[in-house]
Amino acid sequence: MGHIQIKENLGFLDHVEWLRAIAPRTIGCHMQDVNWPGQDHQPPFLGDMRLEPLTRMLPQNCQIVWELSPRCRPKKILQSRTIWKERIGQ
């Protein structure tokens, strides 16, 4: 998710349109947030992306793996996990 968001931030594509096109064939994805314009591998919901509507576009059985920077602090990861459970419910 984060890598495509960076491409949108740079004006190369529209994240929603891209995801709409590939979602039916998606079986898994790397989940990360982005701080604008290109600092990726941030904990979900702690960056600048609108992750909730994008995540809802994924197929129900899509496998999601968080791809985080090794510099992420445990406190931030736990905060992200709490928000994830509240908003996404997984």
Interval 10-36: pLDDT, tens: 999 999 999 999 999 999 999 999 999
Interval 45-77: pLDDT, tens: 999 999 999 999 999 999 999 999 999 999 999
Domain that holds residue 77: 2-87
Number of domains in the chain: 1
Q: Does residue 89 surpass a pLDDT of 80?
A: yes
| Per-position b or e across 52-63, b if 16+ CB within 10 A of its CB | eebbeebeeeee
- DSSP bridge partners of 35: 39
| Cα–Cα distance for residue pair 23/41, rounded to 1 Å | 21
Residue 81 in tokens = 């996990």
| Cα–Cα distance for residue pair 19/57, rounded to 1 Å | 7
